[in-house]
Amino acid sequence: MHDITTIGSATVDIFMKSPEFQLEKADKGVLLCQEYGGKIDIEDFFWQSGGAGTNTAVGFARMGFKTAAVVEIGKDIFGQCVYDELRKDNVDTGFVVSEVGEQTAVSTIMISSQGGRSILTHRGASGMLEARDIPWELLQNSRWIHLSNVSANTELIFQLFDNVRSSLIGMSWNPGKKELELIASGKIRPEHIPCDILMMNKEEWEILKDVQEMLLDTIEQVVITDGKKGGHVYMKHHYDYEYKAGDVQAVQETGAGDAFLVGYVSAHLLGKDIEECCQWGVKNSGSVITHMGAKTGLLHRRDFSM
């Protein structure tokens, strides 16, 4: 029996940092730019497995939970990297789907000297996870399910929802952009989402502006993160709680959301109150952004006062 099963994406992240990546203001925000046709020297280079499915699996395992990951990779060198890094942190890899002829997802992350980044992603095998790939019997023997981006596969999502509703399994969900669009369009209705904790960032929350009230009336805890500004937790029928971000100098920002979620949910499962759940999330995400890679800075349970 597993404490937590994560379902979502698996990638290999390639980080490239250079002061020559220029920041320029634009109507839609800030652009990270480089000269077209030019050659740029890279100051720092690093690669590591990533994707929310594996980031959260490793994070929960370091928090002391018996964890399994359900993700899809290709039978290639990058897929082996994903396997090896999950095993290194004692994540059960028995339910990782590995397919011949598919390419493991790869993200190239360009980081400016200020720590901001732009990401180029080839989703590959990560976007091919289907309902038939899910070990439904495993889920029935898990205490908690964490769902992240599954490329808006509605068959998988609805079947998972049915399984969660028919059991005593707890669930957290950090939907990807395509899943958010399904909720916004009404294809996934708030009352059909059986999760205990729904988490996303402020920009993603804005996508759901027309259904926000229904979500707040339906889901026990809705957590909205807002980077350096902190964030809010909305408790159904109770109150909302505002938390502050930590004061740390970011090396890069990839994995911050996954790390916050791991800290928050771990504290929740250990019976902590909302304030302490947020503190664990802030501490975990603050550690991650001071290291290269989405997993390097993930903390262990011993790093938190109990």
Q: Could you tell me what percent of the chain has a pLDDT over 90?
A: 79
87: left (phi over 0), alpha (psi -120 to 50) or beta: alpha
Average pLDDT in the chain: 93
Domain spans, the chain: 2-22+43-298
Q: Is pLDDT above 80 for 106?
A: yes
Query: Which CATH number applies to 2-22+43-298?
Result: 3.40.1190.20
d(CA 53, CA 174): 10
Per-residue HEC secondary structure of 40-100 comes to CCCCEEEEEEECHHHHHHHHHHHCCCCEEEECEEECCHHHHHHHHHHHHCCCECCCCEEEC
Would you call 195 helix, strand, or coil by DSSP?
coil
Strand locations in 115-236 (E): 117-122, 142-147, 170-173, 197-201, 221-225, 231-235
Closest of 197, 208, 206, 150 to residue 178, by C-alpha? 150
- Residue 44 pLDDT class (50, 70, 90 cuts): confident
Q: Is the pLDDT of residue 84 over 80?
A: yes
pLDDT band at 1 (very low <50, low <70, confident <90, very high): confident
Which residues contact residue 226 at a Cβ distance below 8 angstroms, ignoring those fewer than 6 apart?
201, 202, 232, 245
pLDDT band at 76 (very low <50, low <70, confident <90, very high): very high
The dihedral region occupied by 88, where left means phi > 0, alpha psi between -120 and 50, and beta the remainder, is: alpha
Q: What is the pLDDT of residue 21?
A: 74
Residues 48 and 12: beta-carbon distance below 8 Å? yes
pLDDT surpassing 90 at residue 17? no
145 Cβ contact partners less than 8 Å away, ≥ 6 residues apart:
4, 5, 6, 7, 139, 160, 164, 169, 170, 171, 172
Q: Give the per-residue pLDDT at 42.
A: 81
